[in-house]
Every structure is written in C-alpha cells, then in structure tokens.
Structure 1
Amino acid sequence: MVTTKIATEPTDFRTASITQHWNDPPQKIFHKVEDDHKQLNSSQICLIIQKALEICKDNAKNSDKKIILDTEKRLEILYEKLESKQLSESVLGRLGRLCEYLELKDLNNSITIHGNLMTTDFDKEGKWLLGIKRLLDLYQKTLK
C-alpha cells in the first residue's frame, strides 16, 4: 500500500512570492554600463581643444579670423568652468568623449556628441557649446 501526503495548508496567491515573472525586464539593464572610454580630466580636455584650435589657426583663411577670435573667447568660458569644476559629471563625461573623438579626427562622432550636449544642456552651457561647434566646423574645414 502506497500512501501519499497531501498538503493540508492551502496556497494563497496573494502571499506567494514570485522571483522572476515572464514579463519582468532582466536586472542587468538597470546597472550602469561601463564605457570603454577613458575618463579625461579637465586639463586633458583643455589641451586637446587648444591643439585643435591651434591647427585651425595655422590653416585659417582671412575670412575665418573673426570666427577664430570669437571661438577663443567662448572657449575661455569653458576653460574657466573646467578649472572651477562647475560642469556636471554628465557634461564632463560627454565632453571628454567628444575630445577623444576630436583627437582621433573622428568628427562625425564629435558632432553627434556635441548635438546631444546642445539639446540637453544648451540653457546652462550654451556660450561655450557654440564655441565648440565653431571649432568643430573650422577643424572640419582644415581636414578637407
């Protein structure tokens, strides 16, 4: 004779704990994805921008002189903000990636990152962002 034990306590769905439901997103999407980019510090960012500006100055035409002067003034605002650590981590990280691409002469990615910064942070950082835009345009002319 075989006896089986029947559960005497009824199960209640209201107190059941479900660890993973079929429609729950995987937990890994909630963790920050680490970039393969190195984090540039403020002085490195300034150096890369200054190098690009010098290249533009060396190859500038007479018609670009006023644009270069205005770009320098706008970039001075950026240098002051970098020195006094007034930029958010988000802006600093994207600016660092922009500079990495600028150093690699990958202007498409630099322009993409700049566009992202313009749409998200223009109200706070608009003056120097316009300087970066002009620098990218001048640099693009120089590389052609």
Structure 2
Amino acid sequence: MSPSPLPSSQSAPPRDPSFPSAPPKAAVPPPPPKASAPPKASDFRTATIENHWNDPPKTIFRKPNEEEQEAFDKEALTASLTTLLDACRSSFTEGSNKRIFDDTEQRIQRMEKEIQQEQIPSHVLWSLSELVEALQKKQWDQASTVHTRLMTTEYDKHGAWLIGLKRLIDLAQKASHA
C-alpha cells in the first residue's frame, strides 16, 4: 500500500529555496594546520665530533710550565718513599706480610729507578708527590683517590709499580694501626 496523500488542508509547507532538500549534515571540523617539516636528519655517529659531549676536561691536557718542572724535587720524592718503606719494614718482619712487603719494596725500587732515569712524565710525578704527601699525613682516602686516578690513566705504562704503590698504601695504613 502506498501512503495516502495528505488532505489538501494538511499539505506540506512550501519549500524554502535556502533549505536543501537533504537533512543538515553534522558540522565538519576544520582541517588540521599544515605540519612543519620533520627535523633535518642527522647522523648520530658524528654527535661526539659535533657536540663534544664526551670530551675530557681540558685541564688534564695542561702541560706544566717550566717553573713547575724545575720546582719538582725528585730526590725528596724518593727520600719520602724510602722513609715510608722503612717505617713499614719494622712492622712486617714475618709471614705473608713480609713477602708482601718484600714484593712492594721491589716494585717501589723499580719506580725510583724510573724516576732517576726520567722515564716518568712530570704530571705523574706530581701525582706521586701528592700521594706521598697524603701518606705522610695519614690521609688514606686521599692517597687511595690519587692512586685510583693514576691506575685509570697510567696503568698501561706503569702498572707494575702502581700495584706496589697500592700495597704501600695498605701496608702504611696497617703499620700505623699496629
């Protein structure tokens, strides 16, 4: 059955030409703004070169001036080491500590020989001087800090006597408590 036509009294309202015949559509949001261009691609392998993010501090490359080199007294350093060894010698006369002391003494003598033959750079000598001074003042933590710094930078060249230096720190600490 077809729908019955509306009676003439109930006729459809006249059409307004401004209204479209289809129902109104939902409001459409405006298009998003144009995106900016992506950042310029960079090769991450050159980040170190370009940004210098992992460069060591410039102070470690500082060369001592002539006054500092002349002011360094190698004899005083070796005399201080000998004094420290003598102080430990009286405390460690038997057993395993005696063997450790004997090995330490040989390693320190090797270092003293390198000092006399000028085979050790001046920046290492300054660190050794700082370490010996800390040992004389019984500042064990400071001596260990200097030793650690030397181990990380100089082990390849001077590892044999650096081990002896660590043992000297330990022996001096034990001897001071005995």
Aligned twin of 1:67: 100
Amino acid of the structure 1 residue aligned with 2:158: E
Query: Any gaps of 5 or more consecutive residues in structure 1?
Result: 1-28
CA distance in 2, matches of 1:57, 1:106: 20
The higher-RCO structure (CA 8 Å, 6+ apart) is 1
Kindly indicate whether residue 162 of structure 2 is the aligned counterpart of residue 129 of structure 1.
Answer: yes
Distance 1:57 1:90, change over 3 A: same
CA distance in 1, matches of 2:140, 2:83: 15
| Number of residue pairs aligned between Structure 1 and Structure 2 | 111
TM-score of the superposed pair, with normalisation by structure 1? 0.70
How far 1:30 sits from its partner (Å)?
A: 7.3
Q: CA RMSD in A?
A: 2.1
Kindly indicate whether residue 122 of structure 2 is the aligned counterpart of residue 89 of structure 1.
Answer: yes
How far 1:61 sits from its partner (Å)?
A: 4.9
Identity %: 32
Larger Rg: 2
Distance 1:84 1:55, change over 3 A: same
CA distance in 1, matches of 2:169, 2:72: 19
What SS does the aligned partner of 1:90 have?
A: helix
TM-score of the superposed pair, with normalisation by structure 2? 0.58
Displacement over 2 Å in runs of 4+: 29-32
CA distance in 2, matches of 1:30, 1:110: 24
After superposing the two structures, state which structure 1 stretch, 122-131 or 59-68, moved more.
59-68
Kindly indicate whether residue 149 of structure 2 is the aligned counterpart of residue 116 of structure 1.
Answer: yes
What SS does the aligned partner of 1:96 have?
A: helix
Amino acid of the structure 2 residue aligned with 1:124: K
Aligned twin of 2:75: 43
Amino acid of the structure 1 residue aligned with 2:112: Y
How far 1:116 sits from its partner (Å)?
A: 0.5
Distance 1:124 1:30, change over 3 A: closer
Query: Any gaps of 5 or more consecutive residues in structure 2?
Result: 1-56, 65-70
How far 1:40 sits from its partner (Å)?
A: 4.3
Cα deviations by residue, 1:98-139 (Å, 9 ceiling, x for unpaired):
111112121111111001100110000001111111111111
Once the two structures are superposed, the pairs formed by residues 13-24 of structure 1 within 5 Å of their partners are none
